[in-house]
Amino acid sequence: MRILATLTVLATLCAPVSHSQTPAPAGAMPACDGAMAIVRLSEITPGGSMDKFMAAVAAHQAWYTSHGFPDDLIYVTHVIVRDPATKSYSYSDKQILTYHFMPKTNAAEPKHDDAWDAYVKLYQATSTIKEGYLTCVPTADLPTGFKAGQ
C-alpha cells in the first residue's frame, strides 16, 4: 500500500503543469511571464580567440541598439571546466555561453542588413554554435536592471 501511495505522489509531482503544455497558435510564441532569451553554447575555432569572440558580441549588441532594440541585452558567461587528471577547475579557453535577453516577446524579427551580416561574419570567423535554446526567463530571475515586457 505504501508503494502505491509513493508512486501516486511521484506521478503527481512529475505531471506537467497544464499551462506549459498548451501550444501557442501557429507562428506565435507561448506566453512568457518574464523575457525570452536565446542561450547559445559556442566553441572557439582553431583560428579564433576569446578576444575576437568578444568583439563579435560587442558588434552584436551595437547592432541591436542602433536598430531600435536598445533594451535587448547580450552578454557572455565563461564556462568552467574540470581537468580530469588534476581535478582542478579553470575557465575554458574553447567554450563560452551567450545570452540574448529580449524584452519585446512579440516583436517581429529584425530585418537583416549589411551590419547584421558583418557581426554574424565575426562570430563565424571565430566560433561555431554547439547548442542553442530559446527560453523564457521568469521576471524574478532576470538580470538586475533588465525590464521585461516593454
Domain presence at residue 9: no
Between these two residues, 75 and 103, which has the higher pLDDT value?
Answer: 75
Domain count of the fold of the chain: 1
Specify which residues 99 forms β-bridges with. Answer: 39, 75
Domain presence at residue 97: yes
Q: What percent of the chain has pLDDT over 70?
A: 78
Domain presence at residue 112: yes
Domain presence at residue 1: no
Of the candidates 95, 100, 106, 107, which has an alpha carbon nearest to the alpha carbon of residue 131? 95
DSSP for 43-109 reads EE-TT--HHHHHHHHHHHHHHHHHTT-TT-EEEEEEEEEE-TTT--EEEEEEEEEEEEEES-TTPPP
How much is the pTM?
A: 0.76
Full domain range(s) for residue 63: 32-139
pLDDT higher than 50, residue 5? no
Distance CA 77, CA 91 (A): 10
CATH number of the domain encompassing residue 70: 3.30.70.100
pLDDT higher than 50, residue 142? yes
Quick: pLDDT tens for 49-79.
999 999 999 999 999 999 988 889 999 999 9
Which cell numbers hold the place of 135? Answer: 527560453
Domain presence at residue 50: yes
Residue whose cell numbers read 574540470: 82
Contact 146, 100 (CB under 8 A): no
Give whole-number Cα distances, 87 to 45, 78, 79, 96, 145, in Å. Answer: 25, 18, 16, 20, 37
Q: What is the pLDDT of residue 23?
A: 64
Torsion, Cα 37 77 63 32, to 10 degrees, reads: 10
Domain presence at residue 61: yes
Domain presence at residue 8: no
Query: 124 falls in which pLDDT band (50, 70, 90)?
Result: very high
Residue whose cell numbers read 510564441: 29
Residue whose cell numbers read 508503494: 3
Domain presence at residue 77: yes
